[in-house]
Amino acid sequence: MSQHVFKRAGFLAATVGVAGLLGAGIASAHVTANVYGSQPTKGGYAAIVFRVPSEEPNTMTTKVAVDFKADYGIGSVRTKPLPGWTAEVTKSKLPTPITKDNGTQITEAVTAVTWTAQPGNELKATDYQEFSVSFGPLPTNVDEVEFPAHQTYSDGKVVDWNQPTPPGGEEPEHPAPAVKLAAKAAGDGDDDHAGMAAGTASTTGEHTEAAAATSDSTARWLGGAGLLVGAIGLGVGAGATIRARKATAKSGGNS
């Protein structure tokens, strides 16, 4: 009886360990928009990191373009410098001006940000890269903002990550990166909030880099912890199986 329990426990631990190791790869198999810090607020400013994995086996990612919907009325975008990549912000004239809650009229909105790899900095199939942006003001009439992305490979192939996730939550094959917006707290003034966010967005020196480095370190630590748990699960499972086999052999010898 106890031997069967040990065997089942070992098998379960090993299974959990393998699932933990494989899950990290599965979860990052598409372009995602990640928030490292406070959730963006409707009408405020946001700092988002687009994580892009390179998945084609015999070619490399050379360009990443992210669309900003014109009806969001995003008036300004700042990109964090990324060694080996150039960033270009595209703005388009709006057919009809968008009036924000604080009375500001947006006549020209950001419609795309494109990152292009310099020679020697393309992403191989085993690589991923993070592209950081801060922007605003955000719309107040939606609960979530979507950013369709377009990933270009060195052989000319373009993969579009532009499918909306349905309300049921079942993820499509090529989901568009999206970020949920928090409701603006009662009493928050548009001018004060915008001023504070603009001040944060204009900090492009050590403060921004330190915050990004801290966020990256946290993400790496969490990823490493997941791998460690998986490895421990494999070790426990293997140990339990060996002990069960020894106990069985010893019991047979005694009889």
pLDDT per residue as tens digits for the range 34-65: 999 899 999 999 999 999 999 898 999 999 99
Q: Provide the CATH topology of domain 30-157.
A: Immunoglobulin-like (2.60.40)
Phi, psi at 56, each rounded to 5°: -70, 130
Domain boundaries, the chain: 30-157
Q: Do residues 172 and 163 lie in contact, with contact meaning Cβ atoms separated by under 8 Å?
A: yes
Q: Do residues 145 and 48 lie in contact, with contact meaning Cβ atoms separated by under 8 Å?
A: no
pLDDT per residue as tens digits for the range 173-210: 999 999 999 998 765 544 334 333 433 333 333 333 43
Question: Which pLDDT score, from 0 to 100, does residue 209 have?
Answer: 40
Is the per-residue pLDDT at 22 higher than 90? no
Question: Which pLDDT score, from 0 to 100, does residue 159 have?
Answer: 96
pTM value?
0.64
